[in-house]
Homo-oligomer: A and B are copies of this chain.
Amino acid sequence: MSDTKDRLLQTAARLFHEQGYHATGVATILREAGVNSGSLYHHFAGKEALLRGVLDWYLDQLRPVITGPVEAAESDPLERIFVLLGNYRAMLESTGCVLGCPIGNLALEVSADHPAVRPLIDANFAQWRAVVASWIDQARDRLLDDVDAEALALFVLTTMEGAIMLARARGTLEPFDVAVANLRRHVELLTA
């Protein structure tokens, strides 16, 4: 991948995360990436294609950057869930509860009117969920028999996305922490 294209993707990813898709102008991406407008349209069909490129890139990064390190750092499969959530908490904390999950931000803003983008957002969610499901599956002998790993993984994801949303709205970590505490209680009840 050319350096220019890479710089565009990283800059766009950051700005879409910080400001959202519509609030981020192409001119801002170009300026901050140090790229000319002509070059953007050489590498991407337009702003939406750049967004798709960003979501592809997130998908590639998910295992090596997001879930892989959690697996390396924590061997207990159920505990990995809470280490992962703790990492998102750390991002919220270090940014004053401004930056949460980049996919979640885009999901609500872009799903409705950009049909070509929605599958990529869904794919990111699906892979995140699949990794967490694999962890739960590894702990299936500690869980009640009727626990569905895929379903519980989705519940982890909805909790995280909802928790980030409320933490951003409040401007404090409290909603995030309360939501995660509820989730932990739920997992404990399922392991009783």
Task: Give me the interface of A with B, judged by CB distance under 8 Å.
Answer: 18-20, 22-23, 98, 100, 104-105, 107-109, 111-113, 118, 121-122, 125, 151-152, 154-155, 157-163, 165-166, 168-171, 175, 178-179, 181-183, 186, 189-190
Q: A23-B113, A159-B162 are in contact. Are A108 and B118 (CB under 8 A)?
A: no
List 17 A–B pairs whose Cβ atoms lie within 8 Å, in order of A's numbering.
A20-B22, A22-B23, A98-B112, A100-B108, A112-B168, A122-B171, A151-B181, A151-B182, A154-B175, A154-B179, A154-B182, A155-B179, A158-B165, A158-B166, A160-B162, A162-B165, A189-B190
Contact B158 A111 (CB under 8 A): no
Contact of A22 among B22, B112, B122, B186 (CB under 8 A): B22
The residue in chain B whose Cβ has the minimal distance to the Cβ of A155 is: B182
Q: A154-B175, A154-B182, A178-B154 are in contact. Are A107 and B162 (CB under 8 A)?
A: no
Copies in the complex: 4
Q: A158-B158, A186-B186 are in contact. Are A170 and B122 (CB under 8 A)?
A: yes
Contacts of A22 in B (CB 8 A): 20, 22-23, 109
Query: A151, A161, A168, A186 — which one has the most chain B CB atoms within 10 A of its CB?
Result: A161
| Bound complex: CA A160 to CA B118 (Å) | 20
Contact B175 A112 (CB under 8 A): no
Contact A169 B19 (CB under 8 A): no
The residue in chain B whose Cβ has the minimal distance to the Cβ of A20 is: B109
Contact A166 B125 (CB under 8 A): yes
Contact A162 B168 (CB under 8 A): no
Contact of A158 among B98, B159, B168 (CB under 8 A): B159
